[in-house]
Amino acid sequence: MLTVLLPENDHSPALRDLLVPLLPPGSELRDPDDGLEDLAGRRLLFAVALDEGGCNMAYYRMLSRLRRSTDLLEGSIGACIVTGVGEFYTKDVARDMVFAANQAGCGFLGRPLVEATGSLRNFRTQAQIGGTDEVTAFHAAVAELLSRLDGWEKPAPIRHVLALHASQRATSNTLALWELVKAGLPSDLGVQEICLRNGTMADCNGCSYTACLHFGEQGGCFYGGPMVDEVYPAVRKCDALVMLCANYNDALAANLTACVNRLTALFRQTRMYDKRIFGLIVSGYSGGDLLARQLISALNMNKSFYLPPRFSLLETANERGSLVKLPGIEAQAAAFARHIAES
C-alpha cells in the first residue's frame, strides 16, 4: 500500500486523476495540510503539481514541517512526482523535497523522481527510444515508478565501502572527518579509498547515446584511464559509496563532478539500485546543504543509487586542522559510522 502526499492547488486535480488508476489497491491519498502524523514506516509518494510560477503553497507548508523534524518519516521509503506548467523548477523542487524528507528519516529508492515540464519536452528522448509520444512516455514512467516503490526491498547488508575524494590529506578537513568516521566502522567491513587528484580525471566528452552504450557494454568508457581501471571496478564491488566532499564555491570539486559524469557509461550497463550513497560534506563557511542536494540529484535521481535516511553528515570547518577540534565531533562521526553500517 502506498501513501500519496498530494499538496492541493489548482493543478493538483489533474495529477490526482493521473495517479488514481495506477495506484496499487489499498493506497491512500492524503492532503499534507490535514497533517503529517503516522507516516513512519510507510511507502510514500510525494506528488507535487506546480503552478505558473513554479510554486505550490501547500507544498511549501509541507516542506517547512519536514525541515523542522528529524524523525517524522522514520523508516519510510519514498519516491516523488513533480509536474509543472512551465519549463523550470520541477527538479529544483524535487531535490529540496527529497533532502528535507531524507533529513526527517525517509529513504529514497534509486531514480525516485518522475518530473514533467509543461511541454513534456523532457520526455522526448524516452518517447523516441520507446517509439511513442511524450504523453505516453510520461505515463509509462509514472507507472514504472509506482511499481518499483510498491515492490521495493531493502538492499542486502553492507560488506564493502568505497570512499571517493579529491582532497590533499595533509590539509583536508574533509579527510580528517572521514578518518574519524572510518575508525568507527565495523572491522569486518571492507573499505577502499580512491583519490581523484588533478591530472588524473578527464571529464565526460558527451558521447552520443549509442557510443556511450557501446563503451558501457564493454565495461569501459571512451577516455579510459583511472575511471575504467580503478573507479568502475570499485563501484561494481561496493555496497556503499561514500563521497568525501569539500565545499568549493558551493559545489563539488571538479574531479568529483567529472567522476560523477563519467559514471554514465557504467550506468548504461548497470543500475545501482542495491548500492547506497552517503556524503561527508565539509564547508569553510556555509552551503553544505547545496552539495547534499547536488549528490541527491546526480547520484540518487540520475545514477540510481539508493538514498538511505539521513544520508549526509555536514560540518563547517575553515582553518586547517579545525575539524577535529569541533565539540562533539568524535561522537558525531562514530554515530554516522554506525549509521552507515546499519543502513
Residues 116 and 203 in one domain: no
CATH code at position 275 = 3.40.50.360
219: which 3 cell numbers? 565495461
What is the DSSP secondary structure assignment for residue 24, as one 8-state letter?
A: P
Residues 207 and 332 in one domain: yes
Residue finishing a domain among 109, 130, 150: 150
Does 274 have pLDDT greater than 50?
Answer: yes
User: Number of structural domains, the chain?
Assistant: 2
| Rounded (to 5) percent helix, strand, coil in the chain | 45, 20, 35
Residues 199 and 100 in one domain: no
Helix (H) or strand (E) holding 263: helix 254-269
Residues 212 and 146 in one domain: no
246: which 3 cell numbers? 569539500
pLDDT digits (tens, 9 = 90+) for 301-339: 999 999 999 999 999 999 999 999 999 999 999 999 999
Domain membership of residue 242 (yes or no) is: yes
- Using CA atoms, how far apart are residues 44 and 192, in angstroms rounded to an integer? 34
Residues 174 and 109 in one domain: no
Residue finishing a domain among 126, 150, 174: 150
303: which 3 cell numbers? 545514477
How many percent of the chain have pLDDT more than 90?
A: 83
pLDDT at site 291: 97
pLDDT digits (tens, 9 = 90+) for 107-140: 999 999 999 999 999 999 999 999 999 999 999 9
Structural domain boundaries, residue 74? 2-150
**Among residues 14, 1, 71, 8, which one has the least CA distance to residue 34?**
8
What does the mean pLDDT of the chain come to? 92
**Among residues 227, 115, 208, 122, which one has the least CA distance to residue 164?**
227
- Residue 330: count other Cβ atoms within 10 Å of its Cβ: 13
Domain membership of residue 155 (yes or no) is: no
Tell me the three state secondary structure of residue 160.
strand
**How, if at all, do strands 76-83 and 160-165 pair?**
unpaired
- Using CA atoms, how far apart are residues 197 and 200, in angstroms rounded to an integer? 6
Looking at the DSSP bridge assignments, the partners of residue 276 are 240, 306
Does 47 have pLDDT greater than 80?
Answer: yes
CB 323 within 8 A of CB 176: yes
**Among residues 20, 49, 22, 29, which one has the least CA distance to residue 145?**
22
Average pLDDT on 162-169 reads 90
Average pLDDT on 218-235 reads 71
Residues 175 and 266 in one domain: yes
Domain membership of residue 136 (yes or no) is: yes
Enter the pTM of the model: 0.91
Residues 138 and 176 in one domain: no
CB 324 within 8 A of CB 291: no
Residue finishing a domain among 150, 170, 201: 150
Find the helix packing angle between 134-150 and 12-19, rounded to 10°: 70
CB 283 within 8 A of CB 177: no
Residues 194 and 292 in one domain: yes
pLDDT digits (tens, 9 = 90+) for 131-141: 999 999 999 99
Backbone angles phi, psi at 317, to 5 degrees: -155, 125
Burial of 290 (0-12, 13-18, 19+ CB in 10 A): middle
Residues 99 and 190 in one domain: no
CB 316 within 8 A of CB 282: yes
Give residue 161's Cα distance to chain centre. Answer: 17
Residues 195 and 316 in one domain: yes
Domain membership of residue 59 (yes or no) is: yes
Domain membership of residue 286 (yes or no) is: yes
Least confident stretch, 69-73, 206-210, 330-334: 206-210
Tell me the three state secondary structure of residue 204.
coil
Who has greater pLDDT, 254 or 203? 254
317: which 3 cell numbers? 570547518
**Could you tell me if residue 110 is left (phi over 0), alpha (psi between -120 and 50 degrees) or otherwise beta?**
beta
